[in-house]
């Protein structure tokens, strides 16, 4: 059945392969031929933001380590940009064995095509087996472009990686339909094996100034940006707000809040506990809260001490983002809501009554503490 259907990737394709359609190892004549066994090393394409290596890149170096160890190979980092040389050392402190640097004035401004091309040219020369790109907004924009230039595949938003013990193939793992299952994806005919990884899926490795590594300065032919020009840039002043992925307390709201106003109550509780607010995809889609506050498979993975899931049904895609939370609290009007199965403590009730009650209890306690009783 699925075989009859033309599709743009995704679920049907996965089904087809599951029902046993062989992947035939003949390649498109428009693709350059490659020798698979020439490709060695696990690489990370590092992104520099406002003069600093972004944390997602450092996290990927940590993630690359396990894979590189299993493959018995090195960890490489492609560092491209302008006036970024000094950062190479830093990447070694975080675990890189070799840093390949392209420091070029033509990269003073970011364009997906020129940055993509610079990374591609480096990788073309040194032939890494694996190339990982942090899936920040720029990374998501650039990674598929790089993959296409290699005529290789790319796995978006992988959450873990492994080596098949038998075939020794690199397996990139991602949750396809949501948080219920994991798809193991291999790249049979092409290199590098490419993947993008959302920030905070992996934790930042320890910085170690004693680590030694090699810095390789490269000059590649960076193209002029073609047909695109940045004409204005206004930095967004970083609000002092803690990003949800770093928060210790998160009060998260779902569609059951009924309206944007519901978040006021959640904010009050969050403020009281020194936490932040977040939300499900439905509230992001409704425009009640910004996308960078979305928790879940297509949002962020969070690891707070306490996660309040308020008027959130508990879809697997949502729960996927709170696997690392120490305690999950469910507040839901429906005693049968699936969230209770993913929670440590639950209260059945209308959030409009439950949240004010919690706020009141906390305020009472604070008051008592102050008066010393």
Partner 1 sequence: MLNIVVGIKWVPNTTLVNIDPRTGTLIREGISSIVNPHDLVAVEMALRLKNEYGGTVTVITMSPPSAIAGLEHVIGMGADRGILVSDRAFAGADTLATSYALAKTMERLDYNLIVFGQETIDSSTAHIGAQVASWLKIPYIYYVTEARYIEDRNIIRVKRALENAYETYELELPALISVAMHSLNPRRVSIYNKLRVKLESPIETWSNEILGLEKNCIGLKGSPTALAKIEMIPKVLRKNEVFKGNDVKKAARWLVKKLLEEGLIEI
Ligand X SMILES: Cc1cc2nc3c(=O)[nH]c(=O)nc-3n(C[C@H](O)[C@H](O)[C@H](O)COP(=O)(O)OP(=O)(O)OC[C@H]3O[C@@H](n4cnc5c(N)ncnc54)[C@H](O)[C@@H]3O)c2cc1C
Contact residues toward ligand X (CB under 6 A) are 177-178, 254-256, 280-283, 294-299, 311-313, 315, 317-318, 321, 331-334, 337, 350-352
For the chain, the farthest-separated pair of C-alpha atoms sits apart, in whole angstroms, at: 81
Q: How far is the CB of 287 from ligand X (least distance, A)?
A: 13
Instruction: State the binding partner of 236 from ligand X, partner 1, none, CB within 5 to 8 A by kind.
Output: partner 1
Q: Give the x-and-dash track for 349-368 against partner 1 (CB under 8 A).
A: x---xx--xx-xxx--xx--
Nearer to ligand X, 246 or 352 (CB): 352
For residue 203, give the nearest of 246, 144, 243, 161 by alpha carbon: 246
Q: For residues 92 and 329, what is the distance between their CA atoms, to the nearest angstrom?
A: 40
Q: How far is the CB of 114 from partner 1 (least distance, A)?
A: 11
Q: Which of residues 119-138 bind partner 1 (CB under 8 A)?
A: 136-138
Nearer to partner 1, 95 or 296 (CB): 296
CB 172 within 8 A of CB 157: no
Instruction: State the binding partner of 1 from partner 1, ligand X, none, CB within 5 to 8 A by kind.
Output: none
Q: Which run of H or E residues covers position 172?
A: strand 170-174
Helix (H, G, I), strand (E, B), or coil: what is residue 218?
coil
b/e 66-75 (16+ beta carbons within 10 angstroms → b): ebbeebebbb
Q: Which residues contact 28 (CB under 8 A, 6 or more apart)?
A: 151
Q: For residues 139 and 16, what is the distance between their CA atoms, to the nearest angstrom?
A: 30
> Contact with partner 1 (CB under 8 A): which of 76, 81, 179, 256?
179
Q: For residues 169 and 66, what is the distance between their CA atoms, to the nearest angstrom?
A: 14
Q: Any idea what the Cα angle at residue 200 is, between residues 195 and 201, rounded to 5°?
A: 50
Q: Which of residues 62-101 bind partner 1 (CB under 8 A)?
A: none
> Contact with partner 1 (CB under 8 A): which of 71, 216, 220, 316?
316
Nearer to ligand X, 111 or 340 (CB): 340
Q: Which residues contact 234 (CB under 8 A, 6 or more apart)?
A: none
Q: Give the x-and-dash track for 281-300 against partner 1 (CB under 8 A).
A: -x-xx-x---xx-----x--
Burial of 109 (0-12, 13-18, 19+ CB in 10 A): middle
Q: Does 326 bind partner 1 (CB under 8 A)?
A: yes
CB 287 within 8 A of CB 259: no
Nearer to partner 1, 242 or 273 (CB): 273
Q: How far is the CB of 19 from ligand X (least distance, A)?
A: 22
* Interacting span for partner 1 (CB under 8 A) from 37-45, 62-70, 86-94, 342-350: 342-350
Q: Give the x-and-dash track for 18-57 against partner 1 (CB under 8 A).
A: x--x-xx-xxxxxx-----------------xx-------
> Contact with partner 1 (CB under 8 A): which of 10, 36, 208, 258?
10
């Amino acid at each position: 059945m699925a075989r009859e259907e033309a599709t743009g990737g995704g679920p049907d394709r996965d089904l087809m392969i599951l029902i046993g359609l062989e992947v035939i190892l003949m390649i498109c004549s428009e693709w350059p031929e490659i020798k698979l066994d020439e490709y060695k090393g696990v690489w990370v394409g590092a992104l520099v933001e406002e003069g600093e290596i972004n944390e997602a890149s450092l996290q990927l170096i940590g993630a690359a380590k396990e894979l590189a160890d299993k493959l018995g190979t090195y960890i490489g980092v492609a560092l491209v940009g302008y006036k970024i040389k000094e950062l190479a050392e830093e990447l070694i402190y975080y675990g890189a064995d070799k840093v390949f640097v392209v420091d070029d004035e033509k990269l003073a401004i970011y364009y997906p095509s020129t940055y993509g091309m610079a990374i591609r040219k480096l990788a073309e020369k040194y032939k890494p087996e694996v190339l990982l790109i942090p899936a920040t907004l720029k990374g998501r924009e650039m990674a598929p472009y790089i993959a296409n230039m290699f005529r290789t595949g790319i796995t978006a938003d992988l959450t873990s990686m492994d080596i098949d013990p038998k075939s020794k193939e690199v397996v990139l793992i991602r949750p396809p339909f949501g948080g219920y299952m994991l798809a193991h994806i291999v790249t049979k005919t092409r290199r590098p094996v490419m993947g993008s990884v959302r920030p905070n899926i992996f934790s930042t490795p320890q910085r170690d100034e004693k680590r030694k590594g090699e810095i390789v300065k490269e000059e590649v032919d960076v193209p002029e940006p073609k047909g695109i020009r940045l004409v204005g840039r206004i930095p967004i002043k970083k609000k002092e707000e803690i990003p949800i992925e770093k928060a210790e307390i998160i009060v998260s709201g779902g569609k059951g809040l009924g309206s944007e106003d519901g978040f006021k109550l959640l904010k009050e509780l969050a403020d009281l506990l020194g936490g932040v607010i977040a939300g499900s995809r439905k509230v992001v889609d409704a425009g009640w809260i910004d996308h960078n506050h979305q928790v879940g498979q297509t949002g962020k993975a969070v690891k707070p001490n306490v996660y309040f899931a308020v008027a959130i049904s508990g879809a697997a895609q949502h729960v996927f983002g709170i696997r690392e939370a120490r305690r999950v609290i469910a507040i839901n009007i429906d005693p049968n809501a699936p969230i209770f199965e993913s929670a440590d403590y639950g209260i059945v009730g209308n959030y409009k009554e439950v949240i004010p009650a919690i706020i009141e209890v906390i305020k009472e306690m604070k008051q008592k503490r102050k008066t010393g009783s």
